[in-house]
């Protein structure tokens, strides 16, 4: 039985290599990586220029991507690709530098917090040093400042500050003409990321107000509250940007709603996989048919389609694994899936689904 499974996986692997025949990068890259990693074609190589320890558990990596990388807008994310013990790993992070730095000096930065037990973040902290090369995907994401300029409120928690840093630096460089307020929640003042930079930006740009609030420095935890928001001039007409733990974002959204800020003015982005919505169905799961690969897998409970595919020896595309980047999107030709984040149930017919956040409800057929 084991031999049959192994044989079938080998055939799928071979099939994938053969289907890549049109793509010379897939054959040449291993060779290129040995000669000069900056020549690799499958992703944009980015050399680490600097690694800066921001706080006990946060480092900023300054990278120089190969010039073919197409750049980004403030607030966007990128996927990075690294190899750990011979296995390629991809993760999504926000860019913390401003696009101006890329345009002027060809540099970008990622500010990354070490996650307890996190394979990739721990590797980045412990192993990634100046001179090494990692892979960089193209930038994506809609956490963008609207044009023309309007008053803005940022509410950030912990390492959720990273896309906000990119925004603030960009706004100050462009002499943003409307008021901007940042409420930045950290556990203690030791955990403030880029404190000096934030102070310097506020000093340079009088319409920028930065307030750092420590949640765990008094006996009772100090969370965001109504008074914090009531102190912000003209709150109702601000565009609000939320990035941080889900609890902070939910609370912020509620308090903003109570003060008349409508949903179309509230923008949010996750910096870590949000806690999945509890599925209200008695028995999630169902047989999954990966039609192109000719593989069928029996019911796997509430496991998402990406993990089901990987467990079956397939390698569909993915990036963030948390529903942001859409790199795992593929065609469902039949069956119903549930969105793990929202609890929304799909139709039964043909449509695009994100594998990493979709759980089958009954038999499902995919173009994978």
Other CB atoms within 10 A of residue 34 CB = 8
- Cβ neighbours of residue 24 closer than 8 Å, sequence gap 6 or more: 41
Residue 31 backbone class (left: φ over 0; alpha: ψ -120 to 50; beta: rest): alpha
Interface region with ligand FES, contact rule CB under 6 A, candidates 123-131, 198-206, 292-300, 316-324 = 316-324
- Locate the DSSP E strands across the chain: 44-55, 58-65, 77-84, 87-94, 108-113, 133-136, 152-157, 180-186, 208-214, 239-243, 266-269, 288-290, 295-297, 329-339, 351-354, 358-366
Q: Which is nearer to ligand FES, 141 or 335 (CB)?
A: 141
Total residues contacting ligand FES by CB under 6 A comes to 12
Exactly one of 232, 243, 255, 325 binds ligand FES (CB under 6 A); that residue is: 325
In the complex, what is the shortest distance from the CB of residue 310 to ligand FES, in angstroms, rounded to a whole number?
Answer: 12
Span of 64-72, 197-205, 244-252, 317-325 interacting with ligand FES by CB under 6 A: 317-325
Any contact of residue 77 with ligand FES (CB under 6 A)?
no
* Minimum CB–partner distance for residue 345 and ligand FES (Å): 18
In this complex, which beta carbon is closest to ligand FES, that of residue 154 or of residue 271?
Answer: 271
Q: Does 324 bind ligand FES (CB under 6 A)?
A: yes
Nearest distance from C-beta of residue 141 to ligand FES, angstroms: 11
Which window, 68-76, 134-142, 162-170, 322-330, contacts ligand FES (CB under 6 A)?
322-330
- Check whether the bond before 148 is cis (ω within 30° of 0): yes
- CB 22 to ligand FES: min, Å: 24
Q: How far is CA 241 from its chain centroid?
A: 16
**In Å, how far from its chain's centre is CA 320?**
5
Q: What are the residues facing 80 on neighbouring strands?
A: 91, 136
> b or e along 219-235 (b: 16 or more beta carbons within 10 Å of the residue's beta carbon)?
eeeeebeeebbeebeeb
Nearest to 217 by CA among 195, 248, 190, 238: 190
Smaller CB separation from ligand FES, 187 or 331: 331
Closer to ligand FES at the Cβ: 195 or 276? 276
> In 3D, which of 141, 132, 201 has the Cα closest to residue 171?
201
Among 5, 326, 342, 347, binds ligand FES (CB under 6 A): 326
How far apart CA 288 and CA 353 sit, in angstroms, is 14
Question: Can you tell me the distance from the alpha carbon of 237 to that of 229, in angstroms, rounded to the nearest whole number?
Answer: 13
Minimum gap (Å) between residue 338 Cβ and ligand FES: 15
Q: Tell me if 141 contacts ligand FES by CB under 6 A.
A: no
Give whichever of 106 and 273 is closer to ligand FES, judged by the CB atom: 273
Query: x/- string (CB under 6 A) for ligand FES, residues 338-367?
Result: ----------------x-x-----------
Provide the binding-site residues for ligand FES, judged by CB under 6 A. Answer: 318-321, 323-328, 354, 356
């Amino acid at each position: 039985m084991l031999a049959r499974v192994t044989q079938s996986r080998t055939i799928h692997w071979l099939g994938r290599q053969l289907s890549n025949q049109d793509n010379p990068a897939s054959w040449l890259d291993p060779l290129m990586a040995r000669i000069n990693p900056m020549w690799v074609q499958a992703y944009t190589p980015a050399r680490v220029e600097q690694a800066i320890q921001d706080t006990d558990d946060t480092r900023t990596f300054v990278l120089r991507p190969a010039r073919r990388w197409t750049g980004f807008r403030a607030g966007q994310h990128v996927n990075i690709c690294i190899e750990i013990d011979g296995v390629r790993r991809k993760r999504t992070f926000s860019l913390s530098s401003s696009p101006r730095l890329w345009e002027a000096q060809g540099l970008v930065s990622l500010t990354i917090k070490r996650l307890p037990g996190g394979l990739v973040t721990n590797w980045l902290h412990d192993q990634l040093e100046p001179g090494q090369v990692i892979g960089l995907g193209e930038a994506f994401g809609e956490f963008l400042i609207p044009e023309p300029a309007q008053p803005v409120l940022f509410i950030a928690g912990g390492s959720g500050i990273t896309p906000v840093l990119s925004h603030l630096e960009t706004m100050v460089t462009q002499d943003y003409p409307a008021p901007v307020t940042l409420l930045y929640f950290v556990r203690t003042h030791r955990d403030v990321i880029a404190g000096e930079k934030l102070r310097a930006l506020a000093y340079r740009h009088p319409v920028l107000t930065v307030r750092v609030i420590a949640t765990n420095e008094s006996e009772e935890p100090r969370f965001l509250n109504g008074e914090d928001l009531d102190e912000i001039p003209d709150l109702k007409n601000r565009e609000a940007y939320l990035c941080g733990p889900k609890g902070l974002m939910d609370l912020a959204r509620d308090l903003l709603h109570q003060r008349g800020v409508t949903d179309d003015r509230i923008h949010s982005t996750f910096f870590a996989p949000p806690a999945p919505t509890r599925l209200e169905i008695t028995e999630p799961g169902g047989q999954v048919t990966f039609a192109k690969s000719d593989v069928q897998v029996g019911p796997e409970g509430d496991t998402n389609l990406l993990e089901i595919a990987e467990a079956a020896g397939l390698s569909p595309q993915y990036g963030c694994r948390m529903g942001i980047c859409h790199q795992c999107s593929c065609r469902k030709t039949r069956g119903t899936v549930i969105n793990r984040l929202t609890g929304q149930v799909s139709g039964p017919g043909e449509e695009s689904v994100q594998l990493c956040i979709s759980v089958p409800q009954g038999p499902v057929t995919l173009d994978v």
